[in-house]
Structure 1
Amino acid sequence: MECSFPVINMEKLQGGEREMAMELLRDACENWGFFELLNHGISPELMDEVERLTKEHYKKCREQKFKEFERNALENGSKSEVADMDWESTFYLRHLPVSNMSEFPDMGDDYRY
């Protein structure tokens, strides 16, 4: 059985299909936890810049912490060895109703705009 994640067309939120689009969005949030947005109006250039800044922040601030975690796990007798260091770091930024940017003091000024 093929299973695909939800895809939400933001243009449909403005027209006669709004109710169906909102139901899809609700279901995606409640049952999937993620979805793809189409026609969201965010420029590819801005998305590329956010990706660049996120990768830069990871390299600068997170990668070493993951390497230390791996080393400590191996020193403490962990039998599993990590062969591929393709780590991912996740953090949640919000601006409304109250910003949490102060919780991330290692974020550069470029990331704060």
Structure 2
Amino acid sequence: MVTSALALAQPDYDRKAELRAFDEAKTGVKGLVDAGITEVPRIFHLPSPENLNSEQHELTLPTIDLQGINNNPIQRKEVVEKVKDALESWGFFQLVNHGIPINILEDMKKGVMDFHEQDTEVKKQWYTRDMSGKTRVIYNSNFDLYAAPVTNWRDTFYCTMAPNPPEPHELPPPCRQILLEYSRHVMKLGVCLFGLISEALGLDPNHLVEIGCADGLGVLGHYYPSCPQPELTIGTPEHADSDFITILLQDHIGGLKIFYQYQWTDVPPIPGALVVNAGDLL
């Protein structure tokens, strides 16, 4: 209804044609910024401007420290209870002392930036909307470009890293090695988290791993270029994740919000921390 109303108000606006032109350029949102645009194209316009500064109560996402959980049974039990409480109430928590070295986290963020900021003609070779699995890396802007009512100000690459890891030559050079290394660390952390969640559910610690929850891993590298009119658009709309768990590595800029107690709550980035949330499958 909103899209139809906008179209009626602007009869010269052929949204489908603009989407096709944007897609066929294969340069994403970054390409628009590189071209020097000063106004956000209409395909990105929200039905109403975002109010990002609405008044909020002071709410803080739980932070869980994994330090020593494999050596101290009492401490592990306390962590299991914290995981249980956080997932029951918030569905999210921040994670510190998770075992992934800071330099690996920083290199992963740099790898995502390096991919999206490489030469446009080189990056185009990875651009596709083919989800059949023929290619191990999918780079595009908005996976639901032709279905969503509003286009997000975001480019993304996606790699399936497990259960069958790609060969190094199948990955983009700017982030090839760090993708492989980061994924190994995340798989190990995922197994640890599924153990804690299993215990929080009153199950055997290996239960969720044994039924296959930790078998697969997809890595997404989102990129949000600088926007000339940020009040008109959004990087990622409200959504739930269709997985078992998501492990999110934020950069220093922030902007992540989660919905808790009927309001949107900021999740400021903590250096070295990861954000974990329960997906729809879990």
Shorter-chain TM-score category? 0.5 to 0.7
Q: Which residue in the other structure is 2:66 paired with? A: 10
What count of residue pairs does the alignment treat as equivalent? Answer: 97
Contact conserved, 1:9 with 1:38, CA < 8 A, in 2?
Answer: yes
Q: Which residue in the other structure is 2:103 paired with? A: 45
Q: Which residue in the other structure is 2:84 paired with? A: 26
Residue 5 of structure 1 deviates from its aligned partner by 0.8
CA distance in 1, matches of 2:157, 2:59: 25
Gap regions ≥5 residues in structure 1: none
Contact conserved, 1:12 with 1:21, CA < 8 A, in 2?
Answer: no
**AA matched with 1:43:** P
**AA matched with 1:3:** L
Q: Which residue in the other structure is 2:113 paired with? A: 55
Contact conserved, 1:11 with 1:39, CA < 8 A, in 2?
Answer: yes
Residue 45 of structure 1 deviates from its aligned partner by 1.2
- Are residues 54 and 5 of structure 1, via their aligned partners in 2, closer, same or farther at CA, if it must alter by over 3 Å? same
SS in structure 1 at match of 2:141: helix
Residue 56 of structure 1 deviates from its aligned partner by 2.7
- Are residues 81 and 29 of structure 1, via their aligned partners in 2, closer, same or farther at CA, if it must alter by over 3 Å? closer
Residue 26 of structure 1 deviates from its aligned partner by 3.2
**AA matched with 1:112:** L
Q: Which residue in the other structure is 2:180 paired with? A: 112
Contact conserved, 1:94 with 1:101, CA < 8 A, in 2?
Answer: yes
Contact conserved, 2:66 with 2:95, CA < 8 A, in 1?
Answer: yes
CA distance in 2, matches of 1:64, 1:92: 12
- Are residues 46 and 81 of structure 1, via their aligned partners in 2, closer, same or farther at CA, if it must alter by over 3 Å? closer
Q: What is the root-mean-square deviation in Å for CA atoms of aligned residues?
A: 3.7
CA distance in 2, matches of 1:4, 1:36: 10
**AA matched with 2:94:** E
Deviations 1:65-99 (A, max 9, x none): 35xx5xx89xxxx8x898xx4x264857553xx24
Contact conserved, 1:8 with 1:36, CA < 8 A, in 2?
Answer: yes
* Identity score, percent: 20
Residue 33 of structure 1 deviates from its aligned partner by 4.0
Contact conserved, 2:62 with 2:94, CA < 8 A, in 1?
Answer: yes
Calculate the TM-score normalised by the size of structure 2: 0.27
CA distance in 1, matches of 2:61, 2:81: 14
Deviations 1:43-66 (A, max 9, x none): 221111111112233444678635
**AA matched with 1:45:** N
Which is strand-richer, 1 or 2? 2
Q: Which has the larger radius of gyration?
A: 2
Gap regions ≥5 residues in structure 2: 1-56, 118-122, 128-138, 182-282
